[in-house]
């Protein structure tokens, strides 16, 4: 049994193949698109040409690709050790000789957000260890999957010249975006879930292009009670009208003869509420990826307070699921060792402004759970040495349950030690305390 990984995302029937219309753009956009209800072919490549879609994809990929990441070993319930030289962490930092870690992680997020699948070929050494990763194009022209009778999966990869080779499941690192359509492939936000919204965006963009190509003037039809003598006279009249209505002659006065009357056949941009429709559609497109409007340049209803909260929600509600998906896939398929896991560091995205951050550090330092070196590490600065590892606590802090008598006894003991010190410093100096010793004691 053989199944196509993306085969159901927009096929053509036999009648479609026999009744081709050269004016239909689907014959120029490839056969891998998904046909929408408004008869618009949706492809990932075409969807990227919508500014909001491109901004949303770039926002997600940029936000994740710039994060620090690494492998960690869980030592106990409260202690974790970072493994800087772990092979899986080094793979994502330097996947192959052509790509940097930033480019590779960027491509992971972009493929998941656009195609719903990320695939990479594993590069093995002589010992069978994965020493490199090379991204595979998940588009249907370049990648299909074969499901064999025994339940195993085999990937068919085609290069740009059409040459095909087979890869087994253990030779490919595959991350599908849930929910899975057939137990193997992920769900594409563009070709599946957001197909109709993207189709409307394509149609609206196409309408705008045609509208402004024709000088933002809707088409007109001409009617007359007269009859032309022959087809050539009719053609000459239409050619004459086109000459003064287009090019440099547009907007120049003209005279309609033979009782010709113009009739407008379309709606103006104002009547169709063109601008309002575009804004609402942009918000719908951003909603497909749960990207806040201000992240894609929609600032009509933005204020300082709601942008701050939306930025935090963007990390917790939008990026966190994507990060979890990648982290668990790396942990399962690239690490595979109990107690060792992969994780992104999102603290840089959650950091507030300078004043708020320093106030938080001051509270942590005051109450004894942050040291100077801890604060410097959070600020990505060098430590000040062993002296910065000391933790302090307020002098009036006592263990819970300590009674009044115990506190009074501790206070009296402190007073007695101070008196003894002063007496010792005053002896031998004619009753005068040695100020330098008192200063040191303080």
Determine contact, residues 42/198, Cβ cutoff 8 Å: yes
Question: Measuring CA to CA, which residue among 284, 292, 283 is closest to residue 310?
Answer: 292
DSSP 33-71: -EE-TTS-EE-HHHHTTSHHHHHHHHHHHHHHHTSEEEE
Per-residue pLDDT tens for 384-417? 888 888 888 776 666 655 555 665 666 667 677 7
Phi, psi angle pair for 87, to nearest 5° = -55, -40
Structure tokens at 427: 């002896």
pLDDT score recorded for residue 425: 62
Lowest mean pLDDT among 15-19, 93-97, 281-285, 346-350: 15-19
Lowest mean pLDDT among 250-259, 310-319, 353-362: 250-259
| 3 state DSSP class of 339 | coil
Classify residue 217 by its DSSP letter: -
Cα distances from 196 to residues 83, 189, 243, 292, in angstroms, run 45, 11, 39, 20
Phi, psi angle pair for 134, to nearest 5° = -130, 120
Task: Give burial (CB, 10 Å; 0-12/13-18/19+) of 404.
Answer: exposed
Going by their DSSP bridges, the two strands 117-124 and 80-83 should be labelled as unpaired
Highest mean pLDDT among 121-135, 247-261, 307-321: 121-135
Cα separation, 135 vs 333, in Å, equals: 15
| Helical pair 51-65 and 101-114, crossing angle rounded to 10 deg | 140
β-bridge partners, 146: 154
Structure tokens at 398: 């006592």
Structure tokens at 303: 């204020």
């Amino acid at each position: 049994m053989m199944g196509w990984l993306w085969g159901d995302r927009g096929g053509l029937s036999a009648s479609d193949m026999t009744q081709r219309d050269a004016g239909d753009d689907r014959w120029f956009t490839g056969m891998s698109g998904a046909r929408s209800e408004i008869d618009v072919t949706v492809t990932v490549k075409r969807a990227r040409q919508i500014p909001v879609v491109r901004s949303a994809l770039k926002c997600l990929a940029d936000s994740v690709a710039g994060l620090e990441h690494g492998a960690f070993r869980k030592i106990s319930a409260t202690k974790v050790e970072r493994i800087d030289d772990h092979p899986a962490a080094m793979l994502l930092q330097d996947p192959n000789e052509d790509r940097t870690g930033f480019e590779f992680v960027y491509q992971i997020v972009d493929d998941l957000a656009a195609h719903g699948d990320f695939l990479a070929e594993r590069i093995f050494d002589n010992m069978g260890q994965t020493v490199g990763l090379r991204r595979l194009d998940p588009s249907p022209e370049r990648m299909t999957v074969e499901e064999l009778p025994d339940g195993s999966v085999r990937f068919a990869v085609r290069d740009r010249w059409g040459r095909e080779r087979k890869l087994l499941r253990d030779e490919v690192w595959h991350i599908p975006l849930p929910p899975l359509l057939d137990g193997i492939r992920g769900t594409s936000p563009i070709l599946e879930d957001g197909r109709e919204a993207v189709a409307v965006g394509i149609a609206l963009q196409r309408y705008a292009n045609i509208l402004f190509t024709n000088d933002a003037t809707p088409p007109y039809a001409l009617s007359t009670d007269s009859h032309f003598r022959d087809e050539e006279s009719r053609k000459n009249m239409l050619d004459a009208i086109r000459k003064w209505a287009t090019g440099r002659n547009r907007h120049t006065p003209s005279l309609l003869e033979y009782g010709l009357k113009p009739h407008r056949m379309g709606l103006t941009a104002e009547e169709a509420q063109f601008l309002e429709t575009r804004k609402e559609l942009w918000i719908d497109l951003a909603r497909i990826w749960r990207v806040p409007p201000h992240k894609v340049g929609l600032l009509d209803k933005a204020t300082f307070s709601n942008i701050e909260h939306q930025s935090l929600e963007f990390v917790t509600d939008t990026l966190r699921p994507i990060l979890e998906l990648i982290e668990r896939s790396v942990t399962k398929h690239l690490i595979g060792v109990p107690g060792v896991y992969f994780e992104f560091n999102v603290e840089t995205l959650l950091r507030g402004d300078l004043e708020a951050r320093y106030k938080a550090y001051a509270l942590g330092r005051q109450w004894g759970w942050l040291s100077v070196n801890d604060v410097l590490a959070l600020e990505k600065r060098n430590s000040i040495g062993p002296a910065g590892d000391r933790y302090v606590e307020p002098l009036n802090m006592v263990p819970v349950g300590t009674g009044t008598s115990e506190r009074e006894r501790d206070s009296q003991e402190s007073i007695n030690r101070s008196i003894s010190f002063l007496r010792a410093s005053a002896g031998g100096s004619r009753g005068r305390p040695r100020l330098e010793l008192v200063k040191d004691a303080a």
